[in-house]
Amino acid sequence: MLDLTQINQNNLPKHIAVIMDGNGRWAKERGKLRVFGHENGVKAVRKTVENCARLNIKYLTLYAFSTENWKRPQIEVQTLMRLLVSSLRKELKTLEKNNIRLNAIGNLDALPSKAAKELKEVIEKTATNKGMVLTLALSYGSRNELVSAVKNLAIKVKNNLISPTDIDDNLINEHLYTHDMPDVDLLIRTSGEHRISNFLLWQIAYAELYFIDVFWPDFSEKHLVEAIISYQKRERRFGKTSEQLS
Ligand code: FPP
């Protein structure tokens, strides 16, 4: 067990988002197929969800499948969808036990019907849970999300429901998949890559970025705690000067 007293409960990131990267390389290092990496990635998802709930994080958003991931070999896409369905089935109890509400963002209409059905069921069954909100980004792309928001706003202008001068940060926010969530405070990416990969571009405007050189299946409670401690050591100025903050 880790010493959680190092974490300041008064300065927790409200919203943590994670780019879970490196499943394929983790498997390759062990001479196994990529699928093996994803299966072990699921175990890291489970641990991270439980640890975040225990650490009182209010929102956890996981990049599980991007719009670009559809271009992967069909067998890998099928495996990821199969893992999604089996995890949703298996983890409903854990979500209930930890009072977690499941949410999903992305072009969910593109999901295979079995995955879409399972997802809808778990979202509905956990809808009244009041603890952490766990959001899975599935068939998600930030540019798609922004394009869709702009289209919807344009339609409202055309139908005289709003005027162009009404469009501001808040109105754009209201048209994103994440309209009912706060901005990301801490964005973690595993595997040593330093990229955002079309994830929550609007929502990470002032997020603290944390890149860690371990593959996703190896991401543990220790790494999560280290990321939170690193976040707590930073001064978030939101464009102001240090003096203005104190
Ligand atoms: C990135 O590793 C990981 C993914 C594209 C998928 C993440 C999915 C899971 C962890 C499992 C399913 C998720 C849920 C929520 C049940 P990569 O394949 O890009 O690794 P590489 O960069 O080493 O090739």
Annotated active-site residue 213? The verdict is no
> Is 194 within the bounds of a domain?
yes
Nearest-angstrom CA–CA distance, 173 and 180: 9
- Domain span at residue 138 reads 15-142+184-232
At 82-136, the pLDDT tens digits run 999 999 999 999 999 999 999 999 999 999 999 999 999 999 999 999 999 999 9
Spatial contact of 183 and 207, defined as CB atoms under 8 Å apart: yes
CATH number at residue 221: 3.40.1180.10
Question: Which of 14, 7, 36 has its CA nearest to residue 224?
Answer: 7
- In this prediction, residue 2 has a pLDDT band, given cuts at 50, 70 and 90, of low
Question: Which of 226, 235, 131 has its CA nearest to residue 188?
Answer: 226
Total number of domains constituting the chain:
1
> Is 237 within the bounds of a domain?
no
> Is 61 within the bounds of a domain?
yes
Does residue 118 line the site of ligand 1, with CB under 6 A?
Answer: no
- In this prediction, residue 244 has a pLDDT band, given cuts at 50, 70 and 90, of confident
Phi and psi of 160, rounded to 5°? 60, 25
Annotated active-site residue 103? The verdict is no
> Is 174 within the bounds of a domain?
no
Q: Which of 3, 10, 21, 159 is catalytic?
A: 21
- Number of residues assigned to the chain: 246
Question: Which of 227, 223, 214, 220 has its CA nearest to residue 26?
Answer: 214
Does residue 21 line the site of ligand 1, with CB under 6 A?
Answer: yes
> Is 150 within the bounds of a domain?
no
pTM exceeding 0.75: yes
Angle between helices 221-233 and 34-54 (to 10 degrees): 60
Task: Read off the pLDDT of each residue in 144-168 and give the average, rounded to a whole number.
Answer: 98
> Is 228 within the bounds of a domain?
yes
> Is 86 within the bounds of a domain?
yes
> Is 167 within the bounds of a domain?
no
What is the predicted pLDDT for the residue at 197? 97
